[in-house]
Amino acid sequence: MVNNNPKISVITPSYNQGKFIEETILSVINQGYDNLEYIIIDGGSTDNSVDIIKKYENQIDYWVSEKDNGQSDAINRGLNMATGDILCWLNSDDYFLPDALKKIGMYNWTDEIGALVGIGHKVNLDKEIMYTPNYYEPITLDDLFYWNKKKNFMQPATFFTKKAWDCCGPLNVELNICMDVDLWIKIAKQYKIDRINESLAHAYIHEDAKTTALIDEMIIETNLMIAQHGGLKQAEQTILQHLNNKVNQNKSVSFKTKIKQYLRGFLK
């Protein structure tokens, strides 16, 4: 069981997000949570990101700016050095809402809980809420297998125990978009994923965000990953629905053939 006022480690992976990262950093260091570890892993940004990080380096436990192998690699590096009881990552175009860490720290983290999910919101650049996932509980493995249909929580509002990370990590660096869902599925196979009915984080919708720019790739990659975890039926249903909505194809074509046709289509 995690003690009261647990140490929370927050990892921020960053690369050329100078227009967002200061807000991200301030949302962490201004939480007022006294048992915080903050780590920033920057992939060698060439914009003003490093200057912004240096501005706050006395309030950051560790930071580095050097070439890495992408977002998952940066997150893995940060989480593997983290010493907190509770872990999370906050991308450099997301930000915490006030008292988010206090709400997480005050939760009754029993031994069977591997992750705790709050409410996250997608916002536009004017901070207007554009999307909020439906809230319901509990979160089951089957819910995760239907991720693209339910989308019932967001990564910036998700926290997990060091024990769950040691058991279920690291992130799969071969995945470009859905490495978070892959981790949640692994955790759900071993632990309970609990819910807290509190708004914790915002994620910006902008043209460079992966979930905005690569929506088709996200749906395919996520469901191929879900199929590999044993959710073949759910993944097949979701992908076939997406494909049939995307193009008017012959429904007698096999699942694998449709996937190959679709992949060839967006790789042109």
Tens digit of each residue's pLDDT (9 = 90 or more) over 158-208 = 999 999 999 999 999 999 889 999 999 999 999 999 999 999 999 998 666
Q: Do 95 and 199 touch, CB atoms closer than 8 A? A: no
Q: Is 133 exposed, middle or buried (0-12, 13-18, 19+ CB in 10 A)?
A: middle
Q: For residue 138, what is the DSSP state?
A: -
What whole-number distance in Å separates Cα of residue 128 and Cα of residue 50? Answer: 28
Specify the pLDDT at position 134.
Answer: 76
Residue with the two structure tokens 């992908």: 239
Q: What is the mean pLDDT of the chain?
A: 87
- Within 8 A by CB and 6+ apart from 260, the residues are none
Q: What is the pLDDT of residue 266?
A: 42
| Res 221: pLDDT | 84
pLDDT digits (tens, 9 = 90+) for 101-158: 999 999 999 999 999 999 999 999 999 999 888 776 778 888 888 876 666 789 999 9
Q: What per-residue confidence (pLDDT) applies to 223?
A: 81
Model confidence band, residue 99 (pLDDT cutoffs 50, 70, 90): very high
Q: What are the structural domains of the chain?
A: 8-206 (3.90.550.10), 213-267 (no CATH)
Residue 128 corresponds to which tokens in the numbers above?
């207007």
Does residue 110 contact residue 205 with C-beta atoms inside 8 Å?
Answer: no
- Which pLDDT value is given to residue 267? 41
Closest C-alpha to 53, from 89, 16, 22: 22
Greater model confidence, 198 or 244: 198
Q: What is the mean pLDDT of residues 63-81?
A: 96
Token digits of residue 95: 């930000």
- Residues 101 and 10: their CA atoms lie apart, in Å, by 10
pLDDT at 268: 41
E-assigned strand segments in 15-168:
36-42, 62-65, 86-89, 94-96, 113-123, 129-131, 158-161
